[in-house]
Amino acid sequence: MLKEWSDVYSIGIPEIDEQHRCFFAASHRLYNEILDRKGKEAVEGAVSFMREYAERHFSTEEAFMTEHGYPDLKDHLQQHAAFFRRLDILEQELQMFGPTQDLAERALDITQDWLIDHIADEDMLYSLHIKSGNAA
């Protein structure tokens, strides 16, 4: 199910919150391109956009965590790496089966829904770390 961006997902760092909002938008674009059934190429474009946006966003987060000496950086980076592995699998399935309803639902699951959980379980932790006086 498509979800609207909400301030509930905010971690209180404006630059990161704005990127999370755009991450949502990239996720919705991917979902809609799959459902539009204009073919693999349109979906490939949306997958590439999602991948590039995630790379940019994760580098911003990684720089933040490094700058503030976040102790669980390594675990957090593993979560980011796992995101790309799931996107790779989605892309392989797109090649094999084309843009199906099932693929659209899974795309939303591994991008939008993943981000919601990741914000609550991981991003909130580095935000708290930074705000608890470990700011550089």
Q: Which residues bind Fe ion (CB under 5 A)?
A: 61, 123
Nearer to Fe ion, 17 or 61 (CB): 61
**In whole angstroms, how close is the CB of 27 to Fe ion at the nearest point?**
14
**In whole angstroms, how close is the CB of 18 to Fe ion at the nearest point?**
14
**In whole angstroms, how close is the CB of 80 to Fe ion at the nearest point?**
6
Assign 3-class secondary structure to the chain: CCCCCCHHHCCCCHHHHHHHHHHHHHHHHHHHHHHHCCCHHHHHHHHHHHHHHHHHHHHHHHHHHHHCCCCCHHHHHHHHHHHHHHHHHHHHHHHHHCCCHHHHHHHHHHHHHHHHHHHHHHHHHHHHHHHHHHCC
Nearer to Fe ion, 67 or 102 (CB): 67
Nearer to Fe ion, 13 or 94 (CB): 13
